[in-house]
Amino acid sequence: MVDRRGLAATMLAGLLFGTSVPVIKLGLSLVPPNTFVTLRFLFASALIVFLLQGRGWVQRDLFRSRKIWIIGFINAFGYVLQFQGQLITSSSNAALIISTAALMIPVLSLAYVHEKMGMRKITGVLLGFIGITLL
């Protein structure tokens, strides 16, 4: 049986992610990209820590981990590039380009984590790239 709360949370996340590209485009008409990224991360970080700390989900040890900081900076740099890129392309193009990230995960997992890619996964990645190319 499907957990309805988990399903609802996933659907809400999909809705929020789906609206992020046009909202970013709108925000970029008001605020420079680096300022916008900084504000986004400040508000999101504060909100997450506030919400999750009460549930015991915030592990203070993570803030001392060099790997976590490196991963965080790489992720933040990706957002800086995304916001910079959205200045010079449409929301539709940005969404299509960003959607290729989901297709890169299996490829990167193969290269860095040595996760096996069966024929089904290879076919899915290839069909995904073909689909995005057609759009």
Q: What was the pLDDT predicted at 70? A: 94
Q: What is the predicted pLDDT for the residue at 1?
A: 62
> pTM value?
0.70
What is the C-alpha R_g of the chain? 18
17: which residues sit within 8 A by CB, 6+ positions away? none
Distance CA(32)–CA(27), nearest Å, equals 8
Cβ contacts of residue 79 below 8 Å, gap of 6+?
A: 37, 40, 41
Q: What residues does each domain of the chain span?
A: 1-88, 91-135
Q: What is d(CA 98, CA 80) in angstroms, rounded to the nearest whole number?
A: 13
Convert the pLDDT of each residue in 37-52 to its tens digit: 999 999 988 888 887 7
